[in-house]
Chains A and B, each alone.
Chain A
């Protein structure tokens, strides 16, 4: 989980306490993903439990300082060197919406795509405007913020490209007279299907099975 690893990476720079760690996390990620201080303390408890940090002194203001252990430092190194694995089972609400909508008779799926495209485009415009207000970074804080904004911009762009692609796919299908399936299909068999292993989303999609 990136908050856990990020807090650990910040502690690798020196001892700190909960409230300050929260401020550091938000500063370093451009305040794009605010977290509450309770989440920070839960994370610190788990990091301490796992032997990655230790509780240290308390200052005169009552702040409890935490320090990273050797195991914690190794964990930071491993995290930075490893690729991020995206959870394959995460449901994509938009993909599910289109997939279901295309099977429903009487639904104007082209209009669904249009409405979504305009919404995502507005988001992309807002992100672009935000980026342009500080596109010449003068500090690592600003650079970090721009990296986050760029990431959100490219995600929005990717969604628009996928919507455009879907739009032309749907138009071709319509030209071929492909209609939505009307009746509810009978399940193939009753009961829980036997499964020897749990397929990933990508495997399920490749096999033509229903995404979980």
Chain B
């Protein structure tokens, strides 16, 4: 039976007060299981980014509950939440957000170092994570020596290193060409198929189609979801 990694229960978020109040999310119910990739689509201003930052414990909902890996974050202190984020969640951003002064391996192991892992253990976990994105031979390279696609793969390795199991990706292919974007998605998909969970915000329908489920937001509300059926249904029995 699959494990629930993230649950949003009736989550709403409002910015500002009185006449200047703006509602970003309204009554969002969303669950992400281990081994599941969910894409979030919607027009600019529909609430996609707010949803992602709430899912990552970076923004507090105005109402509703967020449960990350079985833990209700509303009852946690800031310090406990920071530890949960560091140990459970991995972020992947459009512009990679790697630290230029650190090598690929050092970037990947940074969250483990912050979590006081022993150097030898964090190095082993970092190399494992880099191996999972086919970049172990670039462990000693600095970000400037890597292509955009390779930098994003390092970011994915950082997002899943150690005990991290929920990847939160904000337009992870936005700065990449079509082919490199697909390579990165393949890596992300591979990690999900190996048991991670992922929530990915994207404008690109072709890239969203890599997800198991696609959630559409309009004016802060979920207005529809689509999920995959069998390819054979679509293509007939020919293949």
A contact residues vs B (CB 8 Å cutoff)? 26, 30-32, 34, 114-115, 117-119, 121-130, 132-133, 135, 145, 153-154, 156-157, 160-161, 164, 167-168
Contact = CB atoms under 8 A, between A and B. Distances in A.
Given A26-B238, A145-B239, A117 B210 contact: no
A143 to B, nearest CB: 14
Interface of B: 43, 186, 189, 205-206, 208-211, 214, 216, 223-231, 233-236, 238-239
A34 B216 contact: no
A122 B216 CA distance: 13
B229 A30 contact: no
Contact of B209 (A31, A32, A128, A168): A128
Given A121-B214, A125-B227, A130-B239, 12 more contacts: A26-B238, A30-B238, A31-B239, A32-B235, A124-B209, A125-B209, A126-B234, A129-B228, A145-B239, A153-B209, A157-B205, A161-B205
B206 A31 contact: no
Contacts of B226: 118-119, 121-122, 125
A34 B228 CA distance: 24
Chain B interface main SS type = mixed
A119 B189 CA distance: 22
Closest 9 CB pairs of A and B: A31-B238, A130-B231, A128-B209, A160-B205, A124-B209, A125-B228, A126-B234, A121-B226, A118-B226
Which one of A26, A115, A123 has the greatest number of beta carbons of chain B within 10 Å?
Answer: A123
Contact of A117 (B216, B230, B234, B235): B216
Contact of B206 (A130, A135, A157, A168): A157
A145 B231 CA distance: 14
Contact of B234 (A114, A127, A154, A160): A127
A30 B237 CA distance: 11
Given A121-B214, A157-B206, A161-B205, A126 B231 contact: yes
A121 B204 CA distance: 11
18 contacts: A31-B235, A31-B239, A34-B236, A34-B238, A118-B224, A118-B225, A121-B208, A122-B226, A122-B227, A125-B227, A125-B228, A126-B231, A127-B209, A127-B231, A128-B206, A130-B234, A130-B239, A153-B206
Contacts of A118: 216, 224-226
A157 B206 CA distance: 6
B231 A129 contact: yes
Contacts of A126: 228-231, 233-234
B47 to A, nearest CB: 16
B137 to A, nearest CB: 20
Contacts of B231: 126-127, 129-130, 133
